[in-house]
Structure 1
């Protein structure tokens, strides 16, 4: 993956028992700020049946993703999550592999 390639990310948050509301509040504060960052094409959360909160991200370039990771919204989010997670956030960078329909086959 070169720095000009698009990149997708999955970030998994596991709230401590009884801390779901705090994790969602931290994400609710951070998400609008991230939406305004250069290169952010998608930054959305979903919830798994087991209570994990899964962030799905799409960035125009790796450089823009790296800038996001070093930016103030992420620093503020990390601080707000302190003491509310059962495990460190799992972050997985993914290389898009579009297949089939141009819209349905790509993220």
Structure 2
């Protein structure tokens, strides 16, 4: 059963040293397409101190996140990243624990 509540996701990409620009290029191609997918509230990349690229995502529902996982944009991104990463993408679905003001206590 899927939840109607928003879902937050992190995805860590670990580019090979020589492939960082190619990984960023693949993400730059995919991101605008994902932004147009139903339920996409946030889909943004950030640099991490260890050299990984962290995707922060927020989806309106689990069902829309599940649909995103098999979207053309994701299928093409996975293909574009072939051989460019030093390890598999680490994806984690998060459940908010709201503390304080709800508008500031959860993404």
| TM-score bracket for this pair, using the shorter chain length | over 0.9
Q: Report the TM-score, using the length of structure 1 for normalisation.
A: 0.95
Quick check: 1:6–1:96 contact (8 Å CA) kept in 2? no
Number of residues of Structure 1 aligned to a counterpart in Structure 2: 107
Name 2:63's counterpart in structure 1: 63
More off after superposition, 1-10 vs 80-89: 1-10
Quick check: 1:8–1:95 contact (8 Å CA) kept in 2? yes
Runs of 4+ in 1 over 3 A off after TM superposition: none
Deviation, 1:103, is: 2.6
Name 2:96's counterpart in structure 1: 96
What SS class does the counterpart of residue 30 from structure 1 fall into? helix
**CA–CA separation in structure 2 for the residues paired with 1:79 and 1:40:** 21
Flag structure 1 segments of 5+ consecutive residues without an equivalent. none
Name 1:50's counterpart in structure 2: 50
**CA–CA separation in structure 2 for the residues paired with 1:64 and 1:3:** 10
- Which structure has more helix as a fraction of its residues? 2
Name 1:3's counterpart in structure 2: 3
Q: Report the TM-score, using the length of structure 2 for normalisation.
A: 0.95
Name 2:30's counterpart in structure 1: 30
Instruction: Give the superposed CA RMSD.
Output: 1.2
Matched, 1:39 2:39: yes
Flag structure 2 segments of 5+ consecutive residues without an equivalent. none
Deviation, 1:37, is: 0.5
Quick check: 1:99–1:105 contact (8 Å CA) kept in 2? yes
